[in-house]
Amino acid sequence: MTAKDFPAKAIEGAEAAAHPEWRAPMLAVLTEERFSKPDWIFERKFDGERILVFREGENIRLLTRNRKDVSATYPDLAEALTRQPAQDFVADGEVVAFEGKVTSFARLQKRMQIKNPADARASGIPVFFYLFDLLHISGRNVEGLPLRRRKHLLKQALHFHDPLRYTPHRNEAGEKYFRMACEKGWEGVIAKRADAPYRHGRSHDWLKFKCAKGQELVIGGFTPPKGKRTGFGALLLGYYEDGMLRYAGKVGTGFDDAFLEEFHERLEERRRDTSPFKPAPGEAGAMWVRPDLVAEIGFTEWTDHGKLRHPRFLGLRRDKAAEDVVRERPS
């Protein structure tokens, strides 16, 4: 598919550009405001792994938001993308796995750890790629076009059959859509300014309405197991503030026995003598580790002392660098 296949009005203002090696993704800002506005659209927020697809001829690259190539983890998605008529494009989306009708990061986690294409195919965990934005198509950079136009181009450029899915949106009715999302057990809703360009990095043009609280946190230590438990007792978590790793509490639920034993080995490989947290938490028997692993944590709220209340482990994240983890605060 070439640029001439698109209506002139759709690509007006899009500059000619070579196929990019990398484009940093646009990221949403957390907000507690819920609204309905005619110049915003509202999309489902998925509980998965953010992926950008780069296709140049027969070369397909699936890259996480910190530029890790995960094509071998999702060979079924790569194959589906090679069957597309468009030969030169960059698109943004989220890879998900389902538990019933709800996306499950815990289930996707089992697929994310696989690095061999044959093992990925044999995993028994089907994945789907929900695409929601287009950055480049047929020699043109379309990031500067309004979001509505980019979504229109995306729908024209690709054929959407499982495992590739187009992400639909609602116009205006953000509050109603958010209530429906929470009733269905979704992660929440992403509100997007309809006329905004694609901006690299975090932007208030994209806002997160979350049904439940949760965010990425850095693993900086662990406690020993008690009773019949194996591996470790709890993970010690933190986030960066003013260049220092602040302690956010510990999580001791959400692990199965296999993970407790396997992950304990990874923790032991990272052991260090001193606490990475400043100030160091007073956790009895705590063992410290190099803070380079990131976990997705669900919780009910932050306490007045900056600690997590009722945290639960959801999985490991490989798509965010530890030093980029900060406490999410509503805008």
Query: Is the Cβ–Cβ distance between 47 and 96 less than 8 Å?
Result: yes
Please give the Cα distance from 164 to 276 (Å, whole number).
Answer: 41
Q: At 303, phi and psi to the nearest 5?
A: -80, 170
Strands 308-309 and 287-299: unpaired
Is omega for the bond preceding 279 within 30 degrees of 0, making it cis? yes
Catalytic residue among 4, 37, 45, 192: 45
**176 an active-site residue?**
no
Q: Look at residues 28, 30, 29, 26 and name the one whose alpha carbon lies nearest to residue 211.
A: 30
Give the Cβ contact number of residue 269 at 10 Å. 9
User: Burial code of 192-218, b = ≥16 C-beta within 10 A, e = fewer?
Assistant: bbbebbbeeeebebbbbbbbebbbbbb
Dist CA 251 CA 313 (whole Å) = 7
Distances (CA, A) of 247 to 187, 196, 283, 306: 26, 37, 11, 8
- Cα separation, 49 vs 46, whole angstroms: 9
Cα–Cα distance measured from residue 136 to residue 138, given in angstroms and rounded to the nearest whole number: 7
Looking at the annotation, which residues are catalytic?
Answer: 45
